[in-house]
Structure 1
Amino acid sequence: MATSNARAGTTSTPICRRCTRRCAPSPRRRTTSSACLALAALPHAPADLLKVARLSTRFLSRGIASLPPARAVDKPRLRIGYLSGDFHAHATAALMVEVLECRDRADFEVLLFSHGPDDGSPLQQRVRAACDRFIDVGALDAAGIAARMRAEGVDIAVDLKGHTAGSRFTALAARPAPVQVAWLGFPGTCGADYIDYVIGDPIVTPLADAPFYSERIAQLPRCYQPGDATRRIVPTPRAALGLPEDAIVLLSANVVHKVLPPIFEAWMVLLHRLPSALLWQFSGGEQADARLREEAARHGIAPERLVFMPPVDMAAHWNRLAAADLALDTWPYNGHTTTSDALAAGVPVVTLRGDGFASRVAESLLAEAGLPELVCESLDDYVERACALATGPKPPIRPWIDSRAFARDLEALYRRIWARAVAGLPPEALPAVSVPVAPAGDAADARRP
């Protein structure tokens, strides 16, 4: 095939250097968080992302004054404050909700600081019911959010957005809490000296990558991404989705900006190798879809072999994914929630390993699901593995979501982080440590309503 057989590494290329300069904050552009997200979707050296994150954070945090220092003290119950605009019908809420429901309510109080919409959705109602207090800070600026968090006595502030759209993580520049953490939203460093830790796992954030983070790495012993085991998939018939019953359906549910030329070329090779296959791509809108069909035609693929799925509500999307035979991951920005959604629908995912957090999320999820053999080292390997999977039996997907165990691991990590702060020690890298989970119904469970 015409694709490169080199390992999917990343180096600082002229394109990436130009992107770094272009993503640098401009005094005329205040909302620059998307610069880091854009770079994460392109081949880049991890050091470049740290550079752009530092520049963006410095610009976004300008003028935010620090509050008087807050001191960590030993206490039996920690108050965790999560900051996000996604506590509604959104992927972040869908990932987190069951972990919030399974938390240890006796030892941890949870406050959600929301700067997102009040959509009244069933998911938002679950999230609200799972926390101790839901505090709307949507009308507040960064300094106002920080003041509210300080007034509420937050011990550990956890930002769930990072450099993603609508983020207000710069509220933490005022240091409202004794310890401040980044988790789940952005796959990489925030470049913020005021965020002490980034929560990952041994695959997405190996300790060897510490030079590429402004935060200290804190590892969970399992995939850093939680999930909801209560979700039930009711497969949508192919006929209702406009998919032929006898076709091999290759799913790409990632947004189109993740579809870069090398991976798209590999997909076209697959379609040549598999004459009965079609590519089922999440629609990027009329113009983007037309461009992808044009590009497919240049590779000798008939336009009708690209079928685009329109936006639908979250539950309908989960249900339709089960119609696919195989999911094709993107590179260097993997599918994150996209990958766990496919696995939950019973669809195996083939991925290409890269350098950096964003390029290893699918690997981390596949390891949890018992499918490490679907992680490829090269584009040629990716194509061969996908061909074999598309024409052979589906590999079994191990149930990987255990929200009760995840909650215990996360709470144990918070305790380790807090203990260092109480001792007056600076943040340091915290390797993964497994925590035994007591059988359901024991005394610890009895403390949770």
Structure 2
Amino acid sequence: MPTESPESVSASRQIRHYVRARAWCEWEDFDLWPDRVRADLADEDGAVWPPFLLLAMPGIDAATQRACATRWLKARLESFHAEGGSRELAADVPGVSRPPGPLRIGYLSGDFHQHATALLMVEMLEAHSADHVELYAYSHGANDGKGMRERLVLAFHRFRDIGGLSDMEAAELIRADGVDILVDLKGYTEGSRTMLLAHRSAPVQVSFLGYPGTSGQGFVDYLISDRFVTPAASADDYSEALACMPHSYQPHGRVIDPTIAPPGRAALGLPEEGFVFACFNQAWKFTPQVFDVWCSLLLDVPGSVLWLLDAPHARGNLRNEAMARGVLPDRLIFAPGLPQAGHLARLPVIDLMLDTWPYNAHTTASDALWAGVPLVTCAGATFASRVAGGLLQAAGLPEVVTTTPEAYAALARALALDAPRLHALRHRFEQSRHAAALFNVLAYTRALEAMYERMWARHQAGLPPTAIDMADDPDHGGDPVGR
């Protein structure tokens, strides 16, 4: 029976240590990790890092993220070829003819249940026009029994469970279904089936929504994004052609249940008086620099508290870190996880949402904005660090997008200490947000269909993938309310 070499065991242990340190907010050697990653990438015998881990690591730029993704997949292509995966990659697939009719779009995911990805896209799936697209789901995840799977099944023309199939068998099924464009919703997140795409399951293959970065290989043709998240100048950081939506790349699917009464502060364990800062990002997105800023805000704003999503393993460490920065630990208040409707109902009690960097709020930013809560973000230069900024632009709140930690801290402090200014911002947002591009599901869906049509037309013409910018499309790029 084969065994791991001492070197691979050591590398695996190092990566496991990093994962635990981030999840538990154990920051003793935090600043050493970027150099360790760069050293491993420069050493052909160095640890092969999962690409997802680099997205939240400060000091790692998008070019390094691409190099990591390329190396990660290269290390797995040997087993892919051993399985028989030898089909041509994107640039070598010839144009094909097909009968007229709706494009067949396949969505590949393990998250067709009560998951952030499904919550974001369910209304978009339901809004697709049967005249333009025929939807196929390829699910490799379990049904959690919470009702979302049943709703999703109704949105698809066919819903296939491929959990028991090998990548090759699943690829053959997708080809047999005649799928024109296969859209991977997982990328390098946990439980993904990215290698399935290496079998060239469909003529055009796309990365969308689930992974904010590049695949690093040529068998994914397009990455769906937007102009803010991936400016044209960043194209070399991605192996895919950038396909930019006209406003935000992120669809929106949120309904606040009117039968759930918004709870008061006391019921949520919050003080009746005082300013409530909040961040509902997962604790592994926190960094010492971000926490420095948050604690400085608590010190500068009397009576304020920081409301965080509970992280049992990290709770004690975060309170210790707060004390080390001169903040009493009881000013950190931890919120239990709730079903989506209950979570959305509690958000309006927040005065100001605070973002993390270099991995921003993604779904949590969308949640806050849908609930009418402004978010202050610090936009960086990588996909994951620009998502919240793109959402704020599409929501009509560009003034709360900053680009340095200093500007982020100054803006959050100013809003917290100037009640009329914050009230005016929230009032204006409340009056305008329902007409914002971010929340126009129908206009978003029509633009996405048009994007798919452009991808397919290029493939039919025998042309390689190229950048697509739907903001330049006069039918889909200009009017945020789709008129």
TM-score, with length taken from structure 2: 0.83
Distance 1:314 1:91 in 2: 9
Alignment partner, residue 51 of structure 2 = 36
Alignment partner, residue 373 of structure 1 = 399
Q: Which amino acid aligns with 2:221?
A: D
Asked if 1 retains the 8 angstrom alpha-carbon contact of 2:120 and 2:254, the reply is no
Distance 1:179 1:21 in 2: 35
Alignment partner, residue 8 of structure 1 = none
2:159 to 127, 130, 134: 134
> Greater CA deviation, 354-363 or 317-326?
317-326
2:273 to 232, 238, 246: 246
**1:89 counterpart = 2:111:** no
Alignment partner, residue 124 of structure 2 = 99
Asked if 1 retains the 8 angstrom alpha-carbon contact of 2:119 and 2:254, the reply is no
2:374 to 340, 348, 354: 348
Distance 2:107 2:281 in 1: 27
Asked if 2 retains the 8 angstrom alpha-carbon contact of 1:229 and 1:403, the reply is no
Distance 1:56 1:221 in 2: 32
Alignment partner, residue 165 of structure 1 = 190
The alpha-carbon distance between structure 1 residues 229 and 94, as it changes in their structure 2 partners (threshold 3 A), is closer
Aligned 1:307-386 pairs, distance under 5 A: 307-386=333-412
- Please give the per-residue CA displacement for 1:110-162, whole angstroms capped at 9, x wherever unaligned: 00100111123232222111111111011122222212111111100100000
Higher relative contact order (CA 8 A, sep 6+): 1
Structure holding more helix per residue: 2
Asked if 2 retains the 8 angstrom alpha-carbon contact of 1:252 and 1:329, the reply is yes
The residue matched to 2:101 in structure 1 has which SS?
coil
Asked if 2 retains the 8 angstrom alpha-carbon contact of 1:25 and 1:56, the reply is no
Aligned 1:168-317 pairs, distance under 5 A: 168-232=193-257, 234=260, 235-285=262-312, 287-317=313-343
> Greater CA deviation, 409-418 or 392-401?
392-401
The residue matched to 2:384 in structure 1 has which SS?
helix
Distance 2:131 2:453 in 1: 14
Per-residue deviation at 1:16?
A: 2.2
> Greater CA deviation, 65-74 or 234-243?
65-74
Aligned length: 421
Asked if 1 retains the 8 angstrom alpha-carbon contact of 2:95 and 2:461, the reply is no
Per-residue deviation at 1:26?
A: 10
**1:56 counterpart = 2:75:** no
Distance 2:462 2:254 in 1: 39
Distance 2:39 2:129 in 1: 46
Alignment partner, residue 13 of structure 2 = none
The residue matched to 1:343 in structure 2 has which SS?
helix
The residue matched to 1:218 in structure 2 has which SS?
strand
Asked if 1 retains the 8 angstrom alpha-carbon contact of 2:136 and 2:156, the reply is yes
2:177 to 148, 152, 162: 152
Distance 1:145 1:62 in 2: 19
Distance 1:152 1:21 in 2: 45
Alignment partner, residue 3 of structure 1 = none
List, as ranges, runs of 4+ consecutive aligned residues in structure 1 with deviation greater than 6 Å: 23-29
The residue matched to 1:138 in structure 2 has which SS?
coil
RMSD: 2.2
Asked if 2 retains the 8 angstrom alpha-carbon contact of 1:72 and 1:155, the reply is no
Asked if 2 retains the 8 angstrom alpha-carbon contact of 1:114 and 1:134, the reply is yes
Asked if 2 retains the 8 angstrom alpha-carbon contact of 1:252 and 1:280, the reply is yes
Q: Which amino acid aligns with 1:50?
A: R
Unaligned runs of 5+ in 2: 1-30, 477-483
**1:410 counterpart = 2:448:** yes
Distance 2:178 2:299 in 1: 60
Asked if 2 retains the 8 angstrom alpha-carbon contact of 1:102 and 1:403, the reply is yes
